[in-house]
Structures are given as C-alpha cells and as structure tokens.
Amino acid sequence: MPLKKYIRDIQDFPKPGIGFKDITPLLIDPIARKETLDLLLSTIKNQKIDKVKGVESRGFFFGILLAEALNAGFIPVRKPNKLPYETISADYDLEYGTDTLEIHIDAIKKGERVLIHDDVLATGGTAKAVCELVERLGGEIVQCNFLMELSFLNGREKLGSKNIFAAITY
C-alpha cells in the first residue's frame, strides 16, 4: 500500500516557511494504520524490546501500538513540565528554534532494550536528545523507528551508528 497518499502536506505550519506532514488521514484509515504498524514492526518483530519510547505528541500514536504489539512498556517523552514525577531533560535544536524533552527518572532500568519511536526524522535534533535520555538512564537503544524521514534534512547524521528505520522517506 502506498502510504504516502495518506500524508497531507500543509504549507506554512506551524510557522511560515515550514512544510508540515499531516498524518491525520493515515490515522483515520484503519487499513492504512494497520499496514503502517506492520511495516514499523517488520524490522524489529523478532527482537526483545523492553520499552518503547514515544515522543510527544505524534510519536504517541504508533508508539503505544508498537508497545502493545511487542508486549513492552510504553514511555512518554514530553515537553517540560508535563510529567508529574521527577525527570531528567535534554535540550535540542529544531528546524525553527530550540526545545527541551523530559522523561521520568525511573522509566528505564539499566540494560533494558529500548525502541525509540517518533513520527518524523527531520534534522535529527529530537531523536538525538531522546537517545541521550535513554543512554543516561542506562538503556540500550535497539532502533530509532520513524513513521517518516525527511532525508533532505540529513537527520541520520546526528544519530551516528544507531539502527534507524523509517516507513516512509521523502
């Protein structure tokens, strides 16, 4: 199934000059959503995964589905002051500014195998910050898993030798 037909381009969102990839049509269609989940699972289904980290907020949609399919725990990675318990944080650069991500300090135990999932790999700043959080807590990153990759932004370069998979590449 050509999944790109379920991704809608929105110009000048959230700021002028930004081309936003809207995944709402993909989420609405149950067959496309299931095929996307199967594709995201295809490269990790035979690996032991203890935790899936979903990145706020669009990474939560497939992140929780991946965790369920893998019989793994789900860890939300959120913007500052959104998590109720003690956190650690990492700063990162965006295409249009800077931001911070946080995770609970007890979300990962040393040696746990972690799948990182987000909706898009763009410049790599968000993914690099999430990898840093996992590693600071002692987790082992099995894969960085994305719904989409904007390859022209070279985000893979920031992730070094990490195992990376994207269901759709632009």
Residues identified as active-site: 58, 95
Q: What is the CA radius of gyration of the chain?
A: 15
Sequence-separated contacts (24+) of 82-91 with Cβ below 8 Å: 82/56, 88/133, 88/136, 88/137, 89/133, 90/129, 90/130, 90/132, 90/133, 90/136, 91/129
Spatial distance between the Cα atoms of 86 and 102, rounded to a whole number of angstroms? 9
Spatial distance between the Cα atoms of 109 and 146, rounded to a whole number of angstroms? 23
The DSSP H or E segment spanning 98 is strand 97-104
